């Protein structure tokens, strides 16, 4: 069975090749059909193609163990990459929105709607197929990089589907003789698509930024750690504890402080037994866990 790293690399390579094909397909049809909505789609694929090579490098980097320079490993590069992806996608959307707004104010743009429809239908099918395949590989690898790619393909598919609907409408208007109205379809489609898409890169940026600046993990993850502690701790007496959880890329850092009552003592063997129990429970939920569990008689050491 392929390792998670191998599955991740496979998914990224599929994305790189597919983005190269989609970018070429989109830009070619954008020039022929004179459609900025298609150009926006092609540029997105081009950006994803370029970032794909960086994704391969980061994928190999985060699988390395820690060292003297990076004692906690390279996991932070994963959300940092996703942050860059989100910022670049957001920037392209904003520029496309401004361009479309200008076109709407200056009489629209004439397009070859028939060619645009052909492009959009093929692109829609391709993007949704890739989103399905990459989502499977993301689940197998546990990679946030691949999961972000799967979301991107789903967004691309939705964009292409909306472009198809818009240009079918433009084609109908042209056939009915409403050429002046059909000129507004392309910029209007760009505006609608941009507003539909903008939530995705903003969500990616927000999630990645949270991990880069080391905010607490999601409530659901913290609750799982609390549940494990509530299950294991009572077996070792009435222990008070406090847990902190960070999520960086696919890596989870769990820091647990245990307060012992005055006069109580816990042998090293008992400490290791408790660590092993907590680690076993949490490892069942993730393969990428770094656990620190310490004991103290002084409550102030729990105030971290």
pLDDT in tens, 64-84: 777 778 777 777 888 888 888
Residue 289: Cβ-neighbour burial (10 angstroms; 0-12, 13-18, 19+): middle
Considering the entire predicted model, what is its pTM? Answer: 0.70
pLDDT score for 2: 63
CA pair distance 152, 89, nearest whole angstrom: 10
Query: Within 10 A of 36 (CB to CB), how many other CB atoms are there?
Result: 20
End-to-end Cα, the chain, rounded Å: 41
Residue range(s) in the chain whose domain bears CATH number 1.20.1510.10: 4-212
DSSP 289: E
Q: Look at residue 125 in the predicted model and tell me its pLDDT.
A: 92
CATH number of 219-302: 3.30.70.1350
Tell me: the pLDDT tens digits for 228-241?
A: 888 777 766 666 88
CA-wise closest residue to 108 among 189, 168, 176: 189
Instruction: Point out the residues of the chain with pLDDT beneath 70.
Output: 1-2, 235-239, 287, 304
**CATH 3.30.70.1350 segments of the chain:** 219-302
Structurally, what CATH architecture does the domain formed by 4-212 represent?
A: Up-down Bundle (1.20)
- What pLDDT does 252 receive? 83
| C-beta separation of 185 from 103 below 8 A | no
* Closest C-alpha among 245, 231, 233, 242 to residue 291: 245
């Amino acid at each position: 069975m392929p390792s998670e790293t191998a599955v991740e690399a496979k998914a990224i390579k599929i994305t790189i090749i597919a983005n190269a094909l989609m970018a070429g397909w989109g830009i070619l049809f954008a020039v022929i059909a004179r459609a900025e909505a298609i150009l926006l789609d092609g540029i997105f694929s081009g950006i994803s193609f370029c970032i794909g090579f960086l994704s391969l490098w980061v994928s190999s980097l985060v699988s390395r163990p820690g060292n003297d320079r990076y004692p906690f490993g390279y996991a932070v590069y994963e959300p940092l990459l996703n942050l860059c992806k989100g910022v670049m996608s957001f920037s392209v959307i904003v520029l496309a929105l401004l361009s479309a707004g200008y076109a709407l104010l200056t009489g629209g743009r004439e397009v070859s709607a028939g060619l645009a429809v052909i492009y959009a239908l093929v692109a829609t099918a391709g993007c949704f197929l890739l989103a399905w395949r990459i989502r499977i590989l993301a689940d197998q690898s546990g990679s946030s990089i691949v999961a972000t790619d799967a979301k991107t393909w789903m967004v691309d598919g939705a964009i292409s589907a909306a472009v198809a609907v818009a240009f079918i409408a433009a084609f109908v208007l042209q056939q009915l003789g409403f050429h002046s109205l059909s000129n507004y379809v392309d910029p209007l489609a760009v505006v609608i698509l941009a507003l539909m898409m903008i939530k995705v890169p903003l969500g990616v940026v927000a999630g990645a930024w949270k991990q880069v600046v080391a905010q607490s993990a999601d409530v659901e993850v913290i609750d799982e750690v609390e549940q494990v502690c509530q299950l294991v701790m009572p077996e070792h007496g009435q222990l008070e504890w406090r847990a902190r959880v960070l999520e960086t890329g696919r890596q989870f850092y769990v820091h647990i402080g245990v307060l012992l009552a005055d006069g109580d003592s816990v042998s090293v063997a008992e400490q290791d037994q408790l660590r092993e129990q907590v680690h076993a429970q949490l490892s069942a939920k993730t393969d990428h866990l770094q656990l620190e569990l310490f004991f103290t008689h002084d409550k102030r050491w729990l105030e971290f």
